[in-house]
Amino acid sequence: PQSLSGVLKSSYWLLWVAPFTPLNMSSSPDVFLGRMDDVLGALVSMDELAFKFAVNNINRNKTLIPNTTLTYDIQRINLFDGFETNMHSNTTLLAILDVVTFFKWKKLTVVYEDSTGLMRMQELIKAPAKFNLKIKIRQLTPGNQDARPLLKELKRDKEFFILFDCSYWMAAELLKQLSSMGMMTEYYHFFFTTLDLFALDLEPYRYSGVNMTGFRLLNVDNPWVASTMDKWAMERLQGPKQESGLMDGIMTTDAALMYDAVFMVAVASQRATQMTVSSLQCHRHKPWRFGPRFMNLFKEAQWDGLTGHIVLNKTDGLRRDFDLDIISLKEDGAARIAVWNSYKGMNLTDSRDKNSNVTDSLANRTLIVTTILENPYVMYKKSDKELVGNDRFEGYCLDLLKELSNILGFTYEVRLVADGKYGAQNDKGEWNGMVRELIDHVADLAVAPLTITYVREKVIDFSKPFMTLGISILYRKPNGTNPGVFSFLNPLSPDIWMYVLLACTGVSCVLFVIARFTPYEWYNPHPCSPSSTLIQNNFTLLNSFWFGIGALMRQGSELMPKALSTRIVGGIWWFFTLIIISSYTANLAAFLTVERMDAPIDSADDLAKQTRIEYGAVRDGSTMTFFKKSKISTYEKMWAFMSSRKNTALVKNNQEGITRVLTTDYAMLMESTSIEYISQRNCNLTQIGGLIDSKGYGVGTPIGSPYRDKVTIAILQLQEEGKLHMMKEKWWRGNGCPEEDNKEANALGVENIGGIFIVLAAGLVLSVFVAIGEFIYKARRNADIEEVSEFMAVLSSWSRWSEPCARHTAPQPHSPLSSASLMNVHLFCFFL
């Protein structure tokens, strides 16, 4: 980069001669002679013009060196007899690294012009370890201004961030060739280290959208500097045409540095009193005896020049504290966006970068938008007329694109992705689908249900998600099954019913044993005869069972335990039956009214554990990539199944997968939002299980695209205004499927509780047969007692018990009783 060691920077040396010789001792004003030797030959250079311009301005300004007139004597010397001084390389690299850090570049290609450029870039080459920066180094062909072969390689390798270390005339040629190569787009960022980028003719590139950054040393905001540059321009426009590539009448940085150098020497000469200068002889090497003193005066001099305030270091004479403007190409020309100071670093000054409206760089631009047909995101619009252009499509993404266009002010052209794929990476690392089109800059935006993933984020940029979702399972809705006539048994599982019966049996047996064991359950059946030795126990085995069943059925058995031990058994059994019956009653209504949905799978684990139901995803989609990259054992197993059946498990698009789900035993792994949309329009489909992962859809852009941040801000604005939710409601709301759970209870029919009637009828029939059995059994016993035939005993009993007007009592069977027994019976009846 062109700069100054101290203030001098050029291939010239400057010598001031004071005519204090005996031959010129007169009262006339002092005359200083300036000598500048041009190394470039006979052509008048910009530095020579600046030298003359500075001398003339000093002569016009009598306040700087009063009573003195300067003249100049220009002699040309051999090119290799000169020397060149530059700004300290570390200082230059600090400025470059600060700019690279400011733009957050991770990759940078450095293109240098000659070997000195490579030497200057040595510190930059060492920077990657500290700044996490990947740098490629390329050289322009020496002696050849045609850089198109190199630029073609950079374009092919997709190198979008390029630093050019070259002279301004080479920079002018590069700009023309970059334009012819189609590289003047918003995806490229060119950084020129020349200090004369502002002086180049950038008019053809103002509206290209290209990002172009450089340094500027001239303090053009200073009114005095602007006035001086205007005077320079007026003189230059009257003279011969300037060098190619520069704007007419512009002052280069070299010229400004030469101008400031002359003024610094003039300032130092003000204090150079009592110094005499003898004639110089080229063949003698004796130094000027006042040289060290004059150099000290030069280092102590200060001047507000064209390149800012000039103060030199007293030790090495270098100019340390100075400002560099960071300029960037805008639509209105090169503008300052920041100021870099050698001590303070970079300070952002362009308020538009902080507070500007997001429409600044997108207004009136036409963007190419790639998308894919996917309901309800992008669909062909149904119309009787032939539609063209963007009018052919409708859907959620088209509405989103329209809202973004209204906010950011751009126009757009929607194109369907050529291969009909979202974008996945093959085994060779090559991408396809919409991701590929963004990588190749075929499209500016990808507005589609494009999932934000780690692997995609490495090759393209994404906006903030405009929709969040996850992977789930689409499957046929299982056929409903009626509860059945015996559905009243469903609230408790068969195991529980069995355990309840076993518990009832066990409690009855325990009660029988304890009642027999405890003395307090035995009582005298004849309370009128306390001395009777006959005792009785109510809890026979059958009565114990009757007690347990009565408590279970919430009915009384008229058998009351008397002992503490039997009461404990009864109380615990009552508590048990209370919980069982309450739980049964609570679940009974649901089991009688809800239509059971028996699905063969309930989650991804169920899918992984079986092979009868085939499952898969869209080929080369984010869902497929998720299972392919997953390290979770269940998902690895599922991917192994899908990859082993690629021809059948993986489908081309969602529509093909939906058709397979409806017609075959197939489960589709897809985004939950798509499942929600599909199930709203096809009541035979439903979502199985919850979300397998969590992710989002974002707007895709090429890496480094200036549109990404602006689209993100617009999406956040739409989210805060609730428009994203309204758009989803618009496109997801379908005709609606009937609600599975009605708010009002359904009336119970025979199909729900018919089993209770069957149980009742069975019980009645059983009781009839038991009664007949009891009748026959009793008749047979009576026949034995009365010594008659069984048939006659049955007829006699039937005739007595079946008389309609008979009393509801039956005669006791005749049995031989002793006189003592008859006496006891009469006494007992008497006291009663």
109, two tokens: 């290609």
Give CA–CA dist 812/692, Å, rounded: 80
Residue-wise pLDDT for 333-366, tens only, equals 889 999 998 888 888 876 554 434 444 567 778 8
**The domain 474-478+599-693: what is its CATH number?**
3.40.190.10
Question: 3-class secondary structure for 6-56?
Answer: CCECCCCCEEEECCCCHHHCCCCCEEEEEEECCCCCCCCCHHHHHHHHHHH
Supply the pLDDT for residue 491: 80
Domain with CATH 1.10.287 in the chain: 487-596
Task: Tell me the CA distances in angstroms from 778 to 426, 781, 783, 797, one per residue in order.
Answer: 92, 5, 9, 9
Supply the pLDDT for residue 756: 54
Give CA–CA dist 150/183, Å, rounded: 13
Q: Beta strand 460-462 with 700-702: parallel, antiparallel or unpaired?
A: antiparallel
Task: Tell me the CA distances in angstroms from 197 to 212, 215, 326, 782, one per residue in order.
Answer: 9, 7, 11, 133
Contact 443, 691 (CB under 8 A): no
**The domain 487-596: what is its CATH number?**
1.10.287
Q: 389-423: string of b/e by CB count within 10 Å (b at 16+)? A: ebeebbbbbbbbbebbbebbbbebebebbeeebbb
Give CA–CA dist 493/490, Å, rounded: 6
Contact 463, 715 (CB under 8 A): yes
Who's near 236: CB < 8 A, 6+ residues apart? 49, 242, 248, 249
Q: 736-765: string of b/e by CB count within 10 Å (b at 16+)? A: eeeeeeeeeeeeeeeebbbbeeeeeeeeee
Supply the pLDDT for residue 17: 33
Give CA–CA dist 444/455, Å, rounded: 19
The 8-class DSSP code of residue 451 comes to: B
Low-confidence ranges of the chain (pLDDT < 70): 1-44, 74-90, 128-129, 239-244, 277-285, 350-361, 479-484, 529-533, 590-599, 734-757, 759-761, 763-764, 767-768, 771, 774, 778, 784-832
Domain with CATH 3.40.190.10 in the chain: 366-469+698-732, 474-478+599-693
Q: Residues annotated as binding site for L-glutamate?
A: 449, 451, 456, 622-623, 671
**Alpha carbon of residue 687 to chain centroid:** 24
Who's near 403: CB < 8 A, 6+ residues apart? 714, 718, 723, 727
The domain covering 14-83+236-311 belongs, at the CATH homologous superfamily level, to Response regulator (3.40.50.2300)
Q: Where are the alpha helices (DSSP H) in 127-285?
A: 128-131, 148-156, 168-180, 223-238, 253-270
Return the sign of the alpha-carbon dihedral for residues 441, 444, 450, 453: positive
282, two tokens: 């080229």
Residue-wise pLDDT for 243-300, tens only, equals 567 888 888 998 999 999 888 888 888 777 777 766 666 666 677 777 888 888 888 8
Give CA–CA dist 582/168, Å, rounded: 93
Any idea which architecture 89-216+324-355 has in CATH?
A: 3-Layer(aba) Sandwich (3.40)
Nearest to 199 by CA among 156, 176, 167: 167
Q: Give me the long-range contacts of 476-481 (CB less than 8 A, separation at least 24).
A: 476/661, 476/662, 476/684, 476/685, 476/686, 477/597, 477/683, 477/684, 477/685, 477/686, 478/597, 478/598, 478/599, 478/600, 479/598, 480/595, 480/596, 480/597, 481/595, 481/596, 481/597, 481/598
Contact 367, 445 (CB under 8 A): yes
Supply the pLDDT for residue 377: 93
Give CA–CA dist 725/508, Å, rounded: 65
SS3 call for 380: strand
Residue type (1 letter), 357: N
Task: Tell me the CA distances in angstroms from 831 to 529, 548, 823, one per residue in order.
Answer: 11, 36, 13
Residue type (1 letter), 340: W
Supply the pLDDT for residue 811: 45
Specify the residue for token string 């009541």. 683
Q: Where are the alpha helices (DSSP H) in 144-193?
A: 148-156, 168-180
Residue type (1 letter), 206: R
Following CA atoms 177, 180, 185, 191 in sequence, which dihedral angle do they give, to the nearest 10 degrees? 0
Burial label for 773, CB within 10 Å (0-12, 13-18, 19+), is exposed
Domain with CATH 3.40.50.2300 in the chain: 14-83+236-311, 89-216+324-355
Q: Beta strand 366-371 with 445-446: parallel, antiparallel or unpaired?
A: parallel
Give CA–CA dist 158/361, Å, rounded: 23
Contact 228, 306 (CB under 8 A): yes
Q: 618-642: string of b/e by CB count within 10 Å (b at 16+)? A: bbbbbbbbbbeeeeeebbebbbebb
Contact 184, 210 (CB under 8 A): yes
Give CA–CA dist 724/716, Å, rounded: 10
Nearest to 195 by CA among 379, 20, 447, 10: 10
Contact 253, 307 (CB under 8 A): yes
Specify the residue for token string 């209370």. 578
Question: 3-class secondary structure for 296-351?
Answer: HHHHHCEEEECCEEEEECCCCCCECCCEEEEEEEECCEEEEEEEEECCCEEEECCH
Give CA–CA dist 4/262, Å, rounded: 13
Q: 314-336: string of b/e by CB count within 10 Å (b at 16+)? A: eeebbbeebbbbbbbbbeeebee
Q: Residues annotated as binding site?
A: 449, 451, 456, 622-623, 671
What count of other Cβ atoms lies within 10 Å of the Cβ of residue 667?
22
Any idea which architecture 366-469+698-732 has in CATH?
A: 3-Layer(aba) Sandwich (3.40)
